[in-house]
Amino acid sequence: MVALPKEALHAGRIPDNVFTRDDVRRDTELRCDVVIVGSGAGGATAAAELAEGGLDVIVLEEGRYYGTRDFTADASAMIRALYRGGGATAALGSPPIMFQEGIAVGGSTVINGGMSWRTPEDILDRWVREDGLTNHGAKDMEFYFDRVERRIHVREQDPESIGRDNALLKEGADKKGWLIFSNLRNQVHCPGSNNCAFGCPTGAKQSALVSYIPRALHFGARVYSDIRVSKISFDGKRATGVLGRVVDEDGRRGAKVTVRASIVVAACGAIHTPALLHRSGVRSPSGRLGRDLSMHPNVKVVAIFDEQVRGYEGVHQAYQVREFHEQGLVFAAVNMPPSIIGGVGMPHYGAELGELMDDYNRMVIAGMLCEDTSLGRLRMVGGHPVATYQLNDYDAQKLVKGTKLLCELLFEAGAQKILLPFSGPGDLHSADDIKTIDPQQIDKRTMEVLTVHMMGTARMGSDPNRAVTDQNGAVYDADRLFICDAGLFPTPIGVNPMETIQALATRNAHHILIDQERYLS
């Protein structure tokens, strides 16, 4: 067991068993029981469980190791540091859909909003019924959800942390008589700095960086940051380790890192796990690897009130409006800094943009999560994944319908003006203007759509002809190769995916521990 100084968690000191590029200057060969590629929701969780179970674990992460003290309100600096590709990643389609992935120790949990919801029971039932995941019913998974929630401290927010933007969202929902929940978030007395997407600067958000990673380290796991894994090595069908290289901050490749392991776990997320498998020569018998990409596409509206809102003075997404959850729509208030909303969040420029942004402190930025029916896929170009995703008309109209409902709520809360995420109707000045929006008339190519929920590209299932992995995350037609990320989801889940990823990773790790004699032989 490794003594872990508290400063490592909260003050940014690099723990002894975290190795950065400064520690790996020469070609290096490492040995362990399990090598895990990726340190986010799936990788960190699996690492902690397996290390506590007594296995020798190495985690490889492409991004850097940052501590809480490194996270500031300098949004663009944080994006450059913590977001893959500086945040400029998109699925090709019409409209293109911007998507974001974290690239740092802790993965996307470092930059997510900290929403912690169990997979809805109807989704789990569907997985049991349609995908043969007989051990994934709500009762079976309860043990894993309980365990994850205990570890990452899932709670509602303290009332004093809730800012005016969320209070207005709640007022609007209450006036409409709509169902609104206090959000469940992985946090310990989050005081509401609304900086979640740029690294939690208070240490309150229990991202993998300050929960599962320290736990994994405590139980002896080693974490190597700044390592880009190029391939999984095989002996026949049996995974035997990975090959990678140290990368510097400009992406230049340095020393070679070879890890020999009895078990390989890919946890690089729904975009990069299929790419890693593909580069390694894995071809799913079902042909589904890299297909079935779901994204929970979302759009945002900017509502301007005649009072000071100061959305950054309060927590991110204190509530979720669930009135339309059965229709696949969830609403929340999602404050963004002026650089993001003025740069990429509003379809205006020049003097008009300046005038609108002068009202920044009177804005409520609200968005929606849409459970999608569109499916995209990944294509490999020069070894890199390129996502394509064509928003279908049904989902596009659902987004417009959701936008109209969200505008109703915001006008009810007192909004004076609302800016829409698509062209055509112009700005709205009253609830009556909402009626002028005809979903059939909105050109979906003009929609500003983005997402942080990529899922489904390595789906689980009992039928090797329809799935990529079995229900323990073991890749079909390979031996001792597991997946622990959102790629496993057979369908979109309609809620924030972090807790589902962590529960599945816990379950897969449990399976490995139970069968470890077989896998380690």
Partner 1 sequence: MKYQHSPRMRRILRALAGACCPPQAIELDLLDDIVDHAELTIGAIPAPVRAALIAGLRSYDLAAMAVPRNRGRRAGDLDPERSLAYFESWWRSPVGLQREFAKGIKGILCLSHFEMPAIRDRLDYHPQAWIDKVKRYRLTTYSEDIERQYRSILARDPLPMPDDGALHEGAS
Q: Give residues 401-460 in contact with partner 1 (rule: CB under 8 A).
A: 445
| Per-residue contact string for residues 460-499; x = within reach of partner 1 by CB under 8 A | -----------xx---------------------------
CB atoms within 10 A of CB 326: 11
What 3-state DSSP class applies to 273? Answer: helix
Among 185, 205, 215, 291, binds partner 1 (CB under 8 A): 215
Least CB distance to partner 1 at residue 212 (A): 8
CA distance 54 to 220: 9
Near partner 1 in 250-269, by CB under 8 A:
250-251
Applying CB under 8 A, does 287 fall inside the site for partner 1? no
Gap between the Cα atoms of 148 and 510, Å rounded: 13
Choice between 76 and 327, CB closer to partner 1: 76
Least distance in Å: CB of 405 to partner 1?
27
Binding-residue total with partner 1 (CB under 8 A): 83
Complex with partner 1: residue 264 or 363, whichever CB lies closer: 363
Choosing from 89, 233, 327, 388, the residue that interacts with partner 1 (CB under 8 A) is: 89
Best CA proximity match to 34, nearest among 343, 495, 473? 473
Binding segment for partner 1 (CB under 8 A), chosen from 33-41, 76-84, 109-117, 230-238, is: 76-84
Distance CA 96, CA 297 (A): 11
Site for partner 1 in 31-70 (CB under 8 A): 49, 52-53
- Residue pair 270/485 in contact by the 8 Å Cβ criterion: yes
How does DSSP assign 335-351, residue by residue?
---HHHHHHTSSS--HH
Residue ranges of alpha helices (H) inside 92-137 are 121-131
User: Are 249 and 297 a contacting pair, CB within 8 Å?
Assistant: no
- Residue 74 is a binding residue for partner 1 (CB under 8 A): yes
Measured in whole angstroms, the distance separating CA 285 from the mean position of its chain's CA atoms is: 28
Q: Which stretch binds partner 1 (CB under 8 A): 74-82, 167-175, 177-185, 288-296?
A: 74-82
- Compute the least distance from the CB of residue 227 to partner 1, in Å: 19
Residue closer to partner 1 (CB basis): 398 or 510 = 510
Structure tokens at 222: 């080693």
**DSSP per residue, 196-262:** GGG--SSS-B--GGGTHHHHHHHTT-EEE-SEEEEEEEEETTEEEEEEEEEE-TT--EEEEEEEEEE
Q: Is 6 in the site for partner 1 (CB under 8 A)?
A: yes
Report the DSSP beta bridge partners of residue 265: 36, 482
CB of 63 to partner 1, least distance (A): 13
| One residue of 72, 430, 436, 441 binding partner 1 per CB under 8 A | 72
Beta carbon nearer to partner 1, 166 or 240 = 166
Task: State the minimum distance, in angstroms, from the CB of residue 513 to partner 1.
Answer: 6
Measured from the CB atom, is 211 or 280 closer to partner 1? 211
The rounded distance, in Å, linking the Cα atoms of 334 and 353 is 20
What are the angstrom distances between the C-alpha of 75 and each of 83, 86, 197, 339?
11, 11, 9, 8
Determine which residue in the list 112, 116, 166, 206 makes contact with partner 1, applying CB under 8 A. 206
Contact string (CB under 8 A) for partner 1, positions 369-408, x = contact: ----------------------------------------
Closest approach, Cβ 143 to partner 1, in A, equals 5
Q: How many CB atoms lie within 10 A of CB 31?
A: 13
- Per the residue annotation, which of 272, 453, 510, 511 is the catalytic one? 453
User: What are the structure tokens assigned to 299, written together?
Assistant: 């759009």
Q: Which of residues 126-145 bind partner 1 (CB under 8 A)?
A: 135-137, 139-141, 143-144
- x-or-dash pattern for partner 1, window 226-255, by CB under 8 A? ------------------------xx----
DSSP-derived secondary structure for 27-61: -EEEEEEEEEE--SHHHHHHHHHHHHTT--EEEE-
Q: What is the Cα–Cα distance from 382 to 370, expressed in whole angstroms?
A: 32
> In the range 345-364, which residues lie near partner 1 by CB under 8 A?
347, 349-351, 353-355, 357-358, 360-361
| Residue 11 is a binding residue for partner 1 (CB under 8 A) | no
* Min CB(303)–partner 1 separation in Å: 17
In whole angstroms, how close is the CB of 521 to partner 1 at the nearest point?
17
Query: Phi/psi of residue 76, each to 5°?
Result: -70, -35
Of residues 162-201, those binding partner 1 (CB under 8 A): 188-195, 201
Q: Is 453 designated active site?
A: yes
CA-derived radius of gyration, the chain: 22
| Residues annotated catalytic, as ranges | 453
